[in-house]
């Protein structure tokens, strides 16, 4: 039976790939966007645990004190194969995050107390980011803010994928970058990969446009890997891992690796429903943020 069915299975698989390849990629994009939107719209309220490994890197001693130059020069130097950075500091954050249609709320893992404050205010210092649980997807795939292009087919982790590009100009952006004193909306662009057979989103990459000088950052980039998580007997699109890199104008860098685990639905008894209507965390479907905070004195 296996010998007889094997060629048929291979033939059917190749036929599905051929049919997929023959379809207009921009028509497939409509299906991809609808699939993401459907997952977001039906997500129940749920909880996840975030483990964030953060690193602050400084240039090697020979580069310290050297004039940094323009952001174009800094970014070019950072990508050179011989670029060397020294670990300045590192830490690990363990956070519980509650997600509903209104936004994301955070507490220290096991604390069970979700406060009316931003993630940056909770963590106090260092680089933080929000938006992985839906704001990115809402802004790029659901809102009419992005312009799209087809990049071609390829392979990712052994899977046949369709690759697309996107761009969101600053006037339609909800990407907020800042520090303790100021924040600015930034335009951004990037790419994403979807499974060619199922059209499931697998990876999303974002890169900021040029930053205003007062932010003292040259660039921020984020890569998110997605997976299907079963809740309420349905599969939902959720982040599995996120990697963020920020390059500063003094040549230093911040790098965060976040792993999301233990995502499960809650029925409301753990968190008062009114918590999801706090004014300070509304608008998260249009706005998310990256913040770098210096220690308070």
Domain harbouring 117, CATH code = 2.50.20
> First CA to last CA across the chain, in angstroms?
73
Six-digit token string for 148: 């799209």
Burial class (CB in 10 A: 0-12, 13-18, 19+), 140: buried
Q: Which pLDDT value is given to residue 217?
A: 92
Closest to 222 (Cα-Cα) out of 124, 119, 100, 137: 137
Average pLDDT value for residue range 124-130: 86
State the pLDDT at residue 280: 36
The yes-or-no verdict on residue 151 having pLDDT over 60 is yes
Indicate whether 238 belongs to any domain: yes
Pairing of strands 147-156, 159-168: antiparallel
Residue 47 falls inside a structural domain: yes
In-domain check, residue 2: no
Q: Answer yes or no: is 77 within a domain.
A: yes
CA distances from 9 to 22, 148, 175, 207 (A): 20, 34, 45, 40
- Report the candidate in 66, 17, 96, 49 with the shortest Cα–Cα distance to residue 249: 66
Q: Please report whether residue 215 resides in a domain.
A: yes
What pLDDT shows up at residue 22? 67
Evaluate whether residue 11 is within a structural domain. no
Q: What is the total count of domains within the chain?
A: 1
Question: Does residue 284 surpass a pLDDT of 80?
Answer: no
Q: Is the pLDDT of residue 246 over 90?
A: yes
Domain that residue 38 falls in: 22-293
Which pLDDT band holds residue 260 (cuts at 50, 70, 90)?
very high
Residue 68 sits at the vertex; the CA angle it makes with 63 and 71, to the nearest 5 degrees, is 130
Would 221 be classed as within a structural domain?
A: yes
Q: Which of 248, 194, 243 is nearest to 223 (CA)?
A: 243
Distance from C-alpha of 264 to C-alpha of 206, rounded to nearest angstrom? 27
Quick check: 130 and 123 in contact, CB under 8 A? no
| Range with lowest mean pLDDT among 8-17, 148-157, 159-168, 256-265 | 8-17
Helices then strands, each counted (H, E), the chain:
5, 14
Check if the beta carbon of residue 288 is closer than 8 Å to that of residue 91.
Answer: no
Render pLDDT for 75-101 as a digit per residue (tens, 0 to 9): 988 888 777 888 999 999 999 888 765
Average pLDDT, the chain: 80
Q: Is 186 exposed, middle or buried (0-12, 13-18, 19+ CB in 10 A)?
A: buried
Grouping H, G, I as helix, E, B as strand and the rest as coil, residue 67 is: coil
Q: Which two tokens stand for residue 125?
A: 């210092």
Q: Which residue has the higher pLDDT, 152 or 45?
A: 152
Sheet architecture: strand order including 217-231: 103-108, 85-100, 46-59, 253-265, 234-248, 217-231, 201-208, 188-195, 159-168, 147-156
CB atoms closer than 10 angstroms to residue 260 = 21
15: part of which helix (H) or strand (E)?
helix 2-22
Cβ neighbours around 171 below 10 Å, total: 8
8 lies in a domain?
no
């Amino acid at each position: 039976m296996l010998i007889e069915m094997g060629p048929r299975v291979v033939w059917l698989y190749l036929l599905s790939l051929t049919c997929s390849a023959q379809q207009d990629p921009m028509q497939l994009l409509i299906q991809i966007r609808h699939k993401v939107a459907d997952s977001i719209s039906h997500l129940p309220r749920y909880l996840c645990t975030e483990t964030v490994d953060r690193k602050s890197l400084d240039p090697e001693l020979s580069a310290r004190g050297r004039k940094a130059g323009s952001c174009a020069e800094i970014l070019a130097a950072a990508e050179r194969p011989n670029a060397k950075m020294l670990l300045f500091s590192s830490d690990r954050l363990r956070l519980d995050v509650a997600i509903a249609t209104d936004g994301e709320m955070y507490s220290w893992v096991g604390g069970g107390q979700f406060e009316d404050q931003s993630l940056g205010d909770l963590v106090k210092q260092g680089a933080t980011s929000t938006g992985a649980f839906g704001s990115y997807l809402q802004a790029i795939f659901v809102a009419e803010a992005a312009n799209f292009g087809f990049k071609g087919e390829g392979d990712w982790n052994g899977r046949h994928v369709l690759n697309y590009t996107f761009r969101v100009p600053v006037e339609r952006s909800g990407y907020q970058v800042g520090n303790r004193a100021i924040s600015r909306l930034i335009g951004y662009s990037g790419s994403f990969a979807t499974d060619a057979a199922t059209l499931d989103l697998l990876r999303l990459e974002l890169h900021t446009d040029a930053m205003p000088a007062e932010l003292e950052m040259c660039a921020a980039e984020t890569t998110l890997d997605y997976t299907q998580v079963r809740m309420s007997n349905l599969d939902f699109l959720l982040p599995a891992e996120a990697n963020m890199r920020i390059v500063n104008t003094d040549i230093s860098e911040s790098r965060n690796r976040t792993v999301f685990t233990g995502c499960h639905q809650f029925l409301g008894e753990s968190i008062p429903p009114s918590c999801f209507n706090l004014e300070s965390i509304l608008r998260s479907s249009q706005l998310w943020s990256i913040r770098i905070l210096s220690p308070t004195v």
